[in-house]
Structure 1
Amino acid sequence: MAKNKFHTGPGPSQRQLRVGELIRRRLSDVLMHGDVHDPDLNRMSITVGEVRTSPDLKVATAYVLPLGGDKAEEALEALNRNRAELRRMVAKGLALKYSPQLRFVLDDTFDRMDATRRLFSEERVQRDIATTHEDDDEL
């Protein structure tokens, strides 16, 4: 199997995780303080749930969601419209060799958690869980 130069192993390195968290905090601060020169973006309360970086740290993908999940597409448009300014502001607060290119993606973590909760509450799943626990008790 050919090795992809952007994939170095089973998961992100410690450096990628550390830099991603630094970018997440800095981006959250910039958005929270309304430092961007866009009134539409400053009116929104946007949560930055996670930032994942490429192995070379040149691309940072921010998983974002407006408070309450309302107007998600509008928030994504505003973030993309202000991408260059956000990139400069994030880079200013970090000591990185390169200023990472920012990409924004809607965070669907909460939707997946809700779907998982619904799945676990189904009667057939509860029956399977109960059966599994009974089998474990017999051991």
Structure 2
Amino acid sequence: MSRRTSSPSRGPSQRQLRAGELIRHALAEMLQRDEVHDAALRGHTVTISEVKAAPDLRNATVYCTALGGQGTQEAVAALNKAAPRIQSVLGNKISTKFTPRLTFKADTSFDEAQKIETLLAEQPETDLGD
């Protein structure tokens, strides 16, 4: 079996993880410093929580949420609309063979964690020691 063969059960490679973190840091810095001059992004403050790079590093999915959790869908729509401009600026910030095509998606992991926390808080305490 070849080392390069990846099965669906295996997670992302070290290379994908490293590229995803590089892109995440660059995007966060760009958005923080307002380096992307696009009218669609004005008024949106977002948090980039994760970037998943494709195995060939030509595409990347960026998971983000609006600050405070309100207006996430509008922020994601604005980011997807501004994606070509963001990719252009990103290409000048990172040194990779290809600048990945970015797709922005809403990060729902915080909502899921809150639901689990609420469910756990509702559970009656049981004494397992007896």
For residues 23-62 of structure 1, what are the structure 2 equivalents within 5 Å?
23-62=23-62
State the SS of the aligned residue for 1:69: coil
1:61 Cα offset (Å): 0.5
The 3-state SS of whatever aligns with 1:68 is coil
- What is aligned with 1:96? 96
Matching residue of 1:66: 66
CA separation in 2, counterparts of 1:123 and 1:70? Answer: 28
Which amino acid is the alignment partner of residue 6 of structure 2? T
Which residue among 6, 9, 15 is the counterpart of 1:8?
6
Partner in structure 2 of residue 122 of structure 1: 122
Contact 1:20 1:50 in 2 (8 A): yes
Identity %: 37
Quote the residue 1:76 is aligned against: 76
Could you state the TM-score of these two structures normalised by the residue count of structure 1? 0.82
* 1:113 pairs with 2:113: yes
Greater Cα offset, 113-122 or 97-106: 113-122
Cα distance in 2 between the residues matched to 1:98 and 1:121: 47
- Stretches of structure 1 that go unaligned for 5 or more consecutive residues are none
Please say which structure displays the higher CA radius of gyration: 1
The structure that is helix-richer by fraction is 1
Moved over 3 A (4+): none
Output the TM-score relative to the length of structure 2. 0.87
Alpha-carbon distance, 1:43 to partner: 2.0
**Residue 44 of structure 1, CA deviation:** 1.5
Does the 8 Å CA contact 1:17/1:53 hold for their aligned counterparts?
yes
SS in structure 2 at match of 1:55: coil
How many residues align structurally?
125
Q: Given that residues 45 and 67 in structure 2 are in contact (C-alpha distance below 8 angstroms), is that contact kept between their aligned partners in structure 1?
A: yes
